[in-house]
Structure 1
């Protein structure tokens, strides 16, 4: 399986001829090109930085085989934006079979921003038994994880909680995501906190947008 990081929270996984794109949002300039090669889109939640509604709905109109899976709120928003309902699938806890690639979806409550700000339903996805994308959550999944994607910036994140998240999950390695709000200094700082020389003692692969990692 090949993992390619795109900007912010978007990643692409290629396995046995299948291309799965996760969270093509408005903060990901590469999302348009990535959708051209994707077979399946997984959406963790309906925030615009994880789901660019007009972009995804438009690409579904031009690519008749593109399928999208996500929580009910994201599915409704996408259909309201003009996506074909038959190819938008509501996901809850449970397993998906994507042409032989197994995906385990799990409820992962969105991180709190403020008591006055509501947050949407959020799902985490374990893809191919290896890669876990938590969306906007530091909730620990109920299964072992080989490669953990770790959100590192945003209004709901906190360094200490990110450290505890990686430590509790105990992956073989981690990859920072959700990082568009960080400067280069901020990225280096998070690498220091979350990498093998920090408290997590976990190997960290700090991928640039477009860079890939063979899993």
Structure 2
């Protein structure tokens, strides 16, 4: 059983059945017009060193392992972490730099977080990342791929389920598009499940294929 909690923007908390807490791309809240994430992490993964993704001091326990822009594969506690290099723009990082796509395997569930992905992906990324149960994908445009490009990426990576992120929510002071733009162009064979919470609990056996889980922004 894996608990996934969205702390707004691109920040996710993942908790394993053993209680290991992983936080990906923490923000400080205030800089974005959001509330800061309230979580104490054992592992912090940073996809790139921009202020709205690298506020590890807000979430890290004193003993936490903090990993930034990692490329490769390692096991930390009960979590498998794989980092794959990608880019924040369409020009191989010349405008906004490189990022790391993180795939983590927790209790047998494979989760992939695309960070501030700024370009579409080809089959080489599918080969590098492998099977994905849940894909956390930016859809808000401006600094990342937009809704249309996000669907192209989904078609390449073929995850079972998707959690959209990095889109405009109430209070956010960045010029991003809302999640409705992404949902409006979904293929007819994809289903939307709106969760009345910023948290979802999943087991590998209950992840529904072709499902978009839309989490509610934290209060």
- Measured against the shorter chain, the TM-score band is 0.7 to 0.9
CA contact (8 A) 2:20 2:78 kept: no
Count matched residues: 181
CA contact (8 A) 2:3 2:199 kept: no
2:136 maps to: 149
Q: Which secondary structure does the structure 2 equivalent of 1:47 belong to?
A: coil
Q: Which secondary structure does the structure 2 equivalent of 1:190 belong to?
A: helix
The structure carrying a bigger strand percent of its residues is 2
Query: Is 1:12–2:13 an aligned residue pair?
Result: yes
The structure carrying a bigger helix percent of its residues is 1
C-alpha RMSD of the superposition: 2.7
Query: Is 1:190–2:190 an aligned residue pair?
Result: no
Q: Which runs of 5+ in 2 are unaligned?
A: 169-174, 204-219
In 1, Cα distance between the equivalents of 2:50 and 2:196? 23
1:84 maps to: none
1:179 maps to: 167
In 2, Cα distance between the equivalents of 1:109 and 1:95? 19
**Residue in structure 2 matching 1:38, options 29, 37, 41:** 41
TM-score by length of 1: 0.73
TM-score by length of 2: 0.71
**Measured at CA, do residues 131 and 57 of structure 1 come closer, stay the same or move farther in structure 2, by a change above 3 Å?**
same
CA contact (8 A) 2:103 2:112 kept: yes
**Measured at CA, do residues 69 and 163 of structure 1 come closer, stay the same or move farther in structure 2, by a change above 3 Å?**
same
CA contact (8 A) 2:147 2:181 kept: no
1:124 maps to: 101
Q: Which runs of 5+ in 1 are unaligned?
A: 72-90
